[in-house]
Amino acid sequence: MNQASSSTSSPLPYSGIRVVEFVHMVMGPSCGLMLADLGAEVIKVEPVGHGRDGDATRKLLGSGAGFFPMFNRNKKSVTLDLQTPEGKEAALRLIATADVVCENFKPGTMRKLGLDYDSLKERFPRLIYVSHKGFLPGPYEHRTALDEVVQMMGGLAYMTGRPGDPLRAGTSVNDIMGGMFGAMGAMAALAQREKTGRGQEVQSALFENNVFLIAQHMMQFAVTGQAAAPMPARISAWAIYDVFKVKDDEQIFLAVVSDGAWRVFCDAFGLGELRDDPRLGSNNARVLAREWLIPMLREKMANHTSAHISEIFEANGLPFAPISAPHELLEDRHLNESGALQLINLPDGRQAKTVLLPFTMDGRHLEVRLSPPRLGEHSLEILTQLGYDLQEARALAKGEQPPA
């Protein structure tokens, strides 16, 4: 078995729950990832036949190269051709064993296959069906959405970029969080099924997720009547809350957000004249003085190295952050020593570190039990469980018609 490590001795929360996912890209796989890490058996159905060769994210280049290995650990891969009656029948047999089905294809795709919730709910009344879409039902539901699309129309790109220069966030925030809300919906539906004995459909959507992320700025307008300015142009609530260029062209983010912290900061860097300046006696006063205060502080900080500033800020309990590129985090001391990173086997045989879910249970991270699967790695195991003999299972896994 393609195991990366042994799991903890106590049962995981969703041990015994079977999830069947018809997903690709990031949003749907993120949902399955979270349920899988929490102990569910997640079976990823991947397409074969008609020129298809598994989840297309297996082969993405550039910024998509990390999608498959990141979001598909702790899962089993089964290959089927859902365009054939035999493949669809195998999928229905698999769904009959499932507690949860997840999908994130374009509107209407699952309906054409006869695998949408309306087609399944009478036959499988306890089934929980999680649909990940661009938009929840409404005027936009027919549109095709992507993370960047909803960031642009949902205010996030406006808030991230400079005025007049909208900029998408630097990661797939809506895909990942949309999957997370899908998983939360599945968890809630499982809890409700314990009370009612009935399943239900759960829907999660990129656009509504993005609006939830930006809602604090919507509420800011509702409360103050003032439209939120893009983050690079905002009037900060804090006087010192900036990236500083320091010695050797390094950069570091520094935050001094209270009057007590201001005094500590000034004392630590020998800035007694600023600490005692009556124009800087409160945070709000310092905010109003930013036009001349920040350039002065930039000049003073430029004489120190990032390491020296970090040492002083850490010793005095002040917030700071050296600017890190994503690849540098693979060697981050805290992530490595705290157990937040774990080795996996990539489908091509190499090893790599992956990032675990960002919480612990009983003091432990939720571990990798299965590395990201090779295409169809578990087809024979799962299909023979469903009652197919070995010959039939091999044919179905290749997208071929089983022998008569």
Q: Which residues contact 200 (CB under 8 A, 6 or more apart)?
A: 128, 129, 189, 192, 193
Domain extents for the chain? Answer: 18-214+339-397, 236-325
Predicted pLDDT at 3: 46
CATH topology of domain 236-325: formyl-coa transferase, domain 3 (3.30.1540)
* Separation of alpha carbons 8 and 270, rounded Å: 51
Q: What is the pLDDT of residues 291-302, one digit of tens each?
A: 999 999 999 999
Q: What angle do CA 293, 296, 299 make, to 5 degrees?
A: 150
* Separation of alpha carbons 251 and 232, rounded Å: 17
Predicted pLDDT at 9: 63
Predicted pLDDT at 373: 97
- In this structure, the dihedral spanned by the alpha carbons of residues 267, 268, 271 and 272, taken in order and rounded to 10 degrees, is 10
Largest CA distance in the chain: 91
The architecture (CATH level 2) of 18-214+339-397 comes to 3-Layer(aba) Sandwich (3.40)
Of 254, 229, 384, 243, the residue nearest 312 (C-alpha)? 254
Q: What is the pLDDT of residues 111-167, one digit of tens each?
A: 999 999 999 999 999 999 999 999 999 999 999 999 999 999 999 999 999 999 999
With contact defined as beta carbons under 8 Å apart, do 371 and 42 qualify? no
Q: What is the pLDDT of residues 217-246, one digit of tens each?
A: 999 999 999 999 999 988 788 999 999 999
| Residue type at position 340 | A
Residues of the chain below pLDDT 70: 1-9
- Average pLDDT score, the chain: 95
Predicted pLDDT at 7: 44
For 368, the token pair is 């990798």
Q: Which residues of 326-340 are buried (b: 16+ CB within 10 A; e: fewer)?
A: eeeeeeeeeeeeeeb
